[in-house]
Structure 1
Amino acid sequence: MIQRRSFSCLLYVLGMLLLYSASLVCGGDIVHHDDSIPQRPGCNNNFVLVKVPTRVDGKEKEEFVGVGARFGPTLESKEKHATLIKLALADPPHCCTTPKSKLTGEVILVHRGNCSFTTKTKVAEAAGASAILIINNSTDLFKMVCEKGENVLDINIPVVMLPIDAGRSLEETVQSNSIVTLQLYSPKRPAVDVAEVFLWLMAVGTILCASYWSAWTAREEAIEQDKLLKDGSDELLQVSTTSSRGVVEITVISAILFVVVASCFLIMLYKLMSFWFIEVLVVLFCIGGVEGLQTCLVALLSCFRWFRRIGESYAKVPLLGAVSYLTLAVCPLCIVSAVIWAVYRQYPFAWIGQDILGISLIITVLQIVRVPNLKVGVVLLSCGFMYDIFWVFVSKWWFRESVMIVVARGDKSGEDGIPMLLKIPRMFDPWGGYSIIGFGDIILPGLLVTFALRYDWLANKRLKSGYFLWTMSAYGLGLLITYIALNLMDGHGQPALLYIVPFILGTLTVLGHKRGDLKTLWTTGEPERPCPHVRLQHQS
């Protein structure tokens, strides 16, 4: 149980602000769109990521990642079938005119600019190159297409674009008189990665646990109030009703303000993104994670009789007041866990600690924050729906890039991304990376799912006749469709709420109208209970 309102409010503020900074499911490497030119024969390749392992003077060195062009032949999918080829520098560097020296099957490294991609490729092919690597003018990858008005192309050498840092590294190595050889191949990704399945189970399981905890708490409160009503203890009932127990109820105004404040917070993240700013977010995440982890552990241990006795004994702590001995015993473990994660967060295994802290934070926020009725839930999820669409898609018109995706990736920060994400490494993907989901895509829908289960328990509804089963299924289906869209959209980031919100709101609204409960769900959010404490105690 939440015993300290100050910490509850702190966690509430942290959770509701930070969740908006990462409210999407994100895919693999993101490349710029340049699909306005229609495909035609000779220029209809799919855009694929290309691995470029290198060797310097016969020794294996760094492996780079590029992107293939619309034109040219397709690459091998396996490294063992890819030929090891020597790298040469273009002279002139932009390769818009015939190179000064004849090539004998080398891969030629050229700079972007001064002429079209197809022109560079034709010049390189005519000079005897076996492939062409084009260095982009930024750290991003760019989709190379054919120019308007170009005739049917007949290009027979592979074309790959590299980010500027990779290109400069190769250029400097060749200029130092070292012999650089490399391979070009494009491994195929599996249609479905196991990481996405586990991430789906993790998100659904988190909401499931939080829902039952929230419903159990609400039922206990209802039983206590009904007993006081039966005994006629009006004064005690008033005290019990006014005691908050650390629960925060969202209002329509606060739901709208969340989006406004969150948008400002997201812009601040976008503009001030740096290593030190990420460090601040890490500290905030650790504070929320410590509070969430200790709350969950205390609640879990309190289920056992021996730990329950310790939890019912309190000690006075300066500034905090009365704190149970169980909380004092658990807190050091939680703090150490958060510190260990913060120190080793860039290691490959750090995702485990991040997910544990993140799930604990999400469950605790869903326990603290409540949607009082369907009206508030509709406003909150509708605002989140528009927020996701705007900052993932519409923001490109003003900022020339998706603000949400840039923030989630942690560009210009030196980190793999912001910590307010659940992530699992892709297990059978030759490209590696992580499947991720933002806190917002769990917490926002989770608020309505937990509301549905609280209503079911207070109304003594069975599983099939209630709303929780269908709302929970709607969330799972919406998230599943998000992952399907993610794969169909070539790995580009997708706003999960775009798919989840219509399923959840549509399911709950249609069922409520069909069963005649819509008015109650919309206004009070709780069924009328004259004195049903006996039935509540036996609710299964």
Structure 2
Amino acid sequence: MEINKGVFIVILIVVLSAGLGSAGDIVHQDNVAPKRPGCANNFVLVKVPTWINSLEDNEYVGVGARFGPTLESKEKHASRTRLALADPPDCCSKPRNQLTEGEVILVHRGNCSFTTKANVAEEVGASAILIINNQTELFKMVCESDADVDIQIPAVMLPQDAGSNLEKYINNNTMVSVALYSPKRPAVDVAEVFLWLMAVGTILCASYWSAWTAREVAIEQDKLLKDASEQFLQAGGVGSSGFVDINTTSAILFVVIASCFLVMLYKLMSFWFVEVLVVLFCIGGVEGLQTCLVALLSWWFQRFAESFIKVPFFGAVSHLTLAVCPFCIAFAVVWAVYRRISFAWIGQDILGIALIITVLQVVRIPNLKVGTVLLGCAFLYDIFWVFVSKWWFHESVMIVVARGDKSGEDGIPMLLKIPRMFDPWGGYSVIGFGDIILPGLLVAFSLRYDWLAKKNLRAGYFVWAMTAYGVGLLVTYVALNMMDGHGQPALLYIVPFTLGTFITLGKKRGDLKILWTRGEPERPCPHVQLQPLQEK
């Protein structure tokens, strides 16, 4: 089946909407909320496991206050304590009911400051205070300017639904016990290692496929020069029709349109809109998976790959494509239906990798000039929508879109993701398609140039470009962990490494002018140049 360029243009616009990060930040550095002695804690997420009549029940997640002591980081060190309900519920005055020394007290938000509630709870001997928020989301508890902040008990805010459940149990005379701890995220998770290998391996495979195809096309063009017959001219036109070369204007326009699409995603993010993205992703995934499987299986089933049948609306389709296509469609449909189960990320990654490899084989940059414009614009795009967008939208637009906030879904599908295996908070390490495709275009270009110029690995540019991408992505993960899990614009680190290495090396070797303009070695007589080099 001929490659549908329209599908990939749509998907390419969508893929830039995702950045690199991990699902769920556990430490919130907030320089806006006031800090002073006794009120300078970071806002950390807190796990609150519960026991109902000594039987283990739900585990809730709250957020710690600016004030109070630091919580234990390990569950085994956190003591299980009985939970009591304050009376009055707001805990703005001394409770009327008798509390046992060391109990955790459950109170409602409102009518007085957070520090007032904590001071009252500490005075009556509570070991900690849980404050039920008056809305579903969590709220950062800070100190007012004239408050006493010499508070020696932990204060944690719970979401409204969690607090209501606990309050219901206590009102039914049920014994409720809780423990409070805030586990730390490991510096490096195995998921990040596998995600790095996945991204690098995807570009590696796509680059070799793209270079092999380019060499086949070049050899066929040489045949056209050698045997200028109508038959070969027609064959040459068909062979080159599956590629899309980006020019400077389209590179700039591409990022502009992607920005508009990102804003639309941000404004319209909802359950139904994510469903539309899932459909788009499945269409692209089916096309990518089918293209990769047909290319791979054609080595063993060449006769079926070269025999065609005419299909309405699609034209001439190979028998091998007809055999593979139902499997690809079924795979994508099964993933879409069961995408919320725990191991659905495997299907998403398979479809995503196939799509990325096919895009890198279809879409090409013709020279280093176009690559510089494209990656330069993408570099600014990534920084703007991750960092600068906070000034206008009061939150990072790209991070919100990547996580799928306000959609009821666990992020958009245009991501490669792997569950964090040793993280007590769970979640996923993710990387956006754009962080692989855009630098991958430059890496694939470097290998195509090396093969056409007959350069070995040491004298070529591919090894350097591939290494630069791997190092840039590695630096991104280092930055991600140093920022306590906050999403990072991967292209901020990847583009300087890959593009800087390529340009510097090209200038040093004297190839920069050819790389910048032509993008391929000069071949006055291509059919001679492509023959094996003869030793003199």
What TM-score, normalized to structure 1? 0.92
Counterpart pick for 1:135 among 132, 136, 143: 132
Partner residue of 1:16?
A: 12
* 2:266 equivalent to 1:270: yes
Counterpart pick for 1:389 among 383, 388, 394: 383
Helix, strand or coil at the partner of 1:387: helix
Q: Which amino acid aligns with 1:324?
A: S
Give yes or no for contact 2:252–2:373 (8 Å, CA) kept in 1: yes
The 1:149/1:527 distance shift into structure 2, 3 A limit, reads farther
Partner residue of 1:341?
A: 335
Partner residue of 2:2?
A: 4
Q: Distance in 2 between matches of 1:323 and 1:129?
A: 74
Give yes or no for contact 2:34–2:142 (8 Å, CA) kept in 1: no
Q: Which amino acid aligns with 2:521?
A: P
Q: Which amino acid aligns with 1:195?
A: A
Q: Distance in 2 between matches of 1:137 and 1:219?
A: 65
Q: Which amino acid aligns with 2:121?
A: A
Give yes or no for contact 1:26–1:494 (8 Å, CA) kept in 2: no
* 2:223 equivalent to 1:227: yes
Q: Distance in 2 between matches of 1:266 and 1:172?
A: 43
Q: Which amino acid aligns with 1:365?
A: V
Give yes or no for contact 2:217–2:240 (8 Å, CA) kept in 1: no
* 2:95 equivalent to 1:120: no
Q: Which amino acid aligns with 1:296?
A: C
Give yes or no for contact 1:117–1:146 (8 Å, CA) kept in 2: yes
Q: Which amino acid aligns with 1:23?
A: G
Q: Distance in 1 between matches of 2:88 and 2:393?
A: 34
Partner residue of 2:487?
A: 493
Q: Which amino acid aligns with 1:297?
A: L
* 2:55 equivalent to 1:67: no
Which digits, 9 at most, give the CA deviation of each residue in 1:443-473, with x for residues without a partner?
1111111111111111111112211111111
Q: Which moved more, 1:519-528 or 1:53-62?
A: 53-62
Helix, strand or coil at the partner of 1:48: strand
* 2:213 equivalent to 1:217: yes
* 2:520 equivalent to 1:522: no
Counterpart pick for 1:315 among 309, 320, 340: 309
Q: Which amino acid aligns with 2:403?
A: R
Q: Distance in 1 between matches of 2:88 and 2:246?
A: 64
Which digits, 9 at most, give the CA deviation of each residue in 1:90-125, with x for residues without a partner?
444443443343532222233445554333322221
The 1:303/1:243 distance shift into structure 2, 3 A limit, reads closer
Q: Distance in 2 between matches of 1:168 and 1:401?
A: 29
Helix, strand or coil at the partner of 1:190: coil
Deviation at 1:346, TM superposition (A): 0.6
Q: Which amino acid aligns with 2:490?
A: A
Q: Which amino acid aligns with 1:125?
A: E
Give yes or no for contact 1:112–1:134 (8 Å, CA) kept in 2: yes
Alignment of 1:64-463 (within 5 A): 64-104=60-100, 105-113=102-110, 115-136=112-133, 138-148=135-145, 153-233=149-229, 236-237=232-233, 240=236, 244-304=240-300, 307-463=301-457
Deviation at 1:235, TM superposition (A): 8.8
Gaps of 5+ in 1: none
Q: Which moved more, 1:129-138 or 1:267-276?
A: 129-138
Q: Distance in 1 between matches of 2:53 and 2:449?
A: 70
Q: Distance in 1 between matches of 2:483 and 2:146?
A: 27
Q: Which moved more, 1:79-88 or 1:492-501?
A: 79-88
Q: Distance in 1 between matches of 2:36 and 2:385?
A: 33
The 1:382/1:94 distance shift into structure 2, 3 A limit, reads farther
Q: Which amino acid aligns with 2:48?
A: V
Q: Distance in 1 between matches of 2:133 and 2:393?
A: 20
Give yes or no for contact 2:72–2:78 (8 Å, CA) kept in 1: yes
RMSD (Å), alpha carbons? 2.4
The 1:149/1:318 distance shift into structure 2, 3 A limit, reads same
Give yes or no for contact 1:19–1:420 (8 Å, CA) kept in 2: yes
Deviation at 1:46, TM superposition (A): 4.5
| Matched pairs, number | 532
Which digits, 9 at most, give the CA deviation of each residue in 1:118-173, with x for residues without a partner?
3332222123221122334554444445455767x432211223334433433444
Q: Distance in 2 between matches of 1:516 and 1:84?
A: 70
The 1:444/1:147 distance shift into structure 2, 3 A limit, reads farther
Deviation at 1:71, TM superposition (A): 3.1
Give yes or no for contact 1:33–1:142 (8 Å, CA) kept in 2: no
Give yes or no for contact 1:229–1:531 (8 Å, CA) kept in 2: no
Give yes or no for contact 1:302–1:308 (8 Å, CA) kept in 2: yes
What TM-score, normalized to structure 2? 0.93
The 1:149/1:515 distance shift into structure 2, 3 A limit, reads farther
